[in-house]
Structure 1
Amino acid sequence: MLQSTAVGTLLIGAGGKVTAQETNEEDELRAAVSFNDQATDGTSVVIDTVTLLDGGFVSVQDPTAAHDPDPWLVEGETMPTLEEFFSTTVLGSSERLEPGIHDDVEIEFDTPPEESRQLLVMAHRDTTDDEAFDYADELGEEDDGYPTGVDVNRVVDDGAVELEEDDETAGVFEVEAPEEVDAGEPVEIIVSVTNDTEEDFDSDLVIGFGNETGSSSFTVAAGETETVMGTFETDDLGGEEVDWLVTDYGERVDAGTITVQE
């Protein structure tokens, strides 16, 4: 889908002044981009097709970021400066692309979006001919977007980008507990805590059996497993079903019932 918009060329500067890049209305359309809705882990997005007849770059932008209430609408300062606008709006860009059609162009985020939202991709010329993307650093004065030939519009497309939730869990708990024991035989409840991340994981484990509890606070190093065992006496519990519970920082990990035979 090819769309035309003035986003990225109508720049709201300090003091609320609106400026625009000059564009020759007779310019031939020399670029196209196609950006589909997609999910991302927050590191990059993929642009389906980029066509640049003169070569150049493609950028990913969040056209609303610079105008979010936080941090601009504080202390009466309602508009970002041009530097703030460009540093906030441009999230990432490609390396210089040769003239022609490019499929599945992956753009890594320099500034990842903090939440799922509609993002914009823009086709850029290499106006400085230095093979470096200078659009944001030069506040839009260099490496401007390819014009559509209509007013100040640029060649862009937009798509909904959904941030995937991180399924990685710091602590993976495995609990072993018997279903029944004989009276007088100690009950052993074993809890293994595995850290699947690259950072240390703290645990505040509590194992409860009937009216008795045992606790242990410890740190599990990245990629390691720690095991804790709670041992409880059953001398006075013959013929009863006793509940047990395992928590970590007060959150339920696992629970069950053990039958104590007479």
Structure 2
Amino acid sequence: MNVRRLAVIAVVGALVLWGGATAATASHATATTDTTVDATTATVQEANATVAFDDQTVEDGTVTVRNVTLPEGGYVTIHDDTLFEGDALGSVVGVSEYLDAGTHENVTVTLYEGVSGADFENATPPNGSEVLVAMPHLETGDDETYDFVATNGSEDGPYTTGGQAVVDSAKVTFGDAEETRTRGIVVSNLVAPNYAAPNSTVTVEATLVNEDPAERTEDVAFRLEGGSVDVVVHERVTVPANNETTVTFEVDTTGVPTDEYIHGVTTYNSSEFATITVTENAQVDIDEQETNGSTVTVDEAYLPEGGYVTIHDSSLLDGEVTGSVVGVSEYLEPGHYENVEVTLDEAMAEDDTLIAMPHLETTDDETYDFVDSEGEDDGPYVTNGQPVTDAANVTVA
């Protein structure tokens, strides 16, 4: 097992705002170009455009945007992850044909060709996976030709909402996986929490697979990026022939602003990426499920300071705060958890809406005392003055 510890530092740079007064943001990363937008164009940009871009695997260099709504017509562009570093122009790697005003389904975009002003002479789709961003753009030059890159951003700018570009990102896997595995070390099984507390240490692991008949040594990189943060750490790793190993990075979030970030592990021609949110706020997620009535499963919970995940029945919705508690997890150390099973105090007799709620440990005895203390001890995590909760319909099978 290879272990690498790093301190993530915030790299702060001054960025020119898109359109002179608005910031274009993709997945909480700011992308900019020096442009001037008149009042009429700015108003049109703020029309209600939408885009949906799903994770996918492609073998021919063409990606599919599930749907895009262009109130005034235009294009849907595809940006690579250099957009997160502020490269609004150079990150454009593909653009659709001109699309009339309205909603369009399953729009295909061929990458690394057909972008006026871009140089793709030596560009080829990457192997492995990469995060790409779909972004709807206006047609401002009335020529039905996408000129955003060629005009340095002065024409055919993005649709915006609330001063930010309308975007959706997706993990795109390129090429045939079997073919890729024979050309080097392949990254798989990226394991990392979805949430992390500020000033904490997060462990990120990935499996490195070598299916070649000879030992291979390659550079392996870990990257964390988004907003003002962009950190890359390299390590040389050797994997025996027809074998695998685990690489581990311990990430110190000290100095990292609260935000959502893209991170991943990359080799020469393979990579896996995920997102992680640095936040002080607890999180919880419970999905609809069938149960035998004795237990329920909370899909995900994040407790920055440790504590418990409680289950409330639907009487909570009528204001019954303590009497609605029907189950509680064991004490959980600070961190992120998946598939937390909670045993109910009494078996459910019928279907009900159950509410998952993370609670603090305020008395340092690692015993849930919220009910016995009539709400004085071990209260819920709150955000903006409201308890953090998630509800789901639970069916007794």
Higher relative contact order by CA 8 Å / sep ≥ 6: 1 or 2? 1
What TM-score, normalized to structure 1?
Answer: 0.47
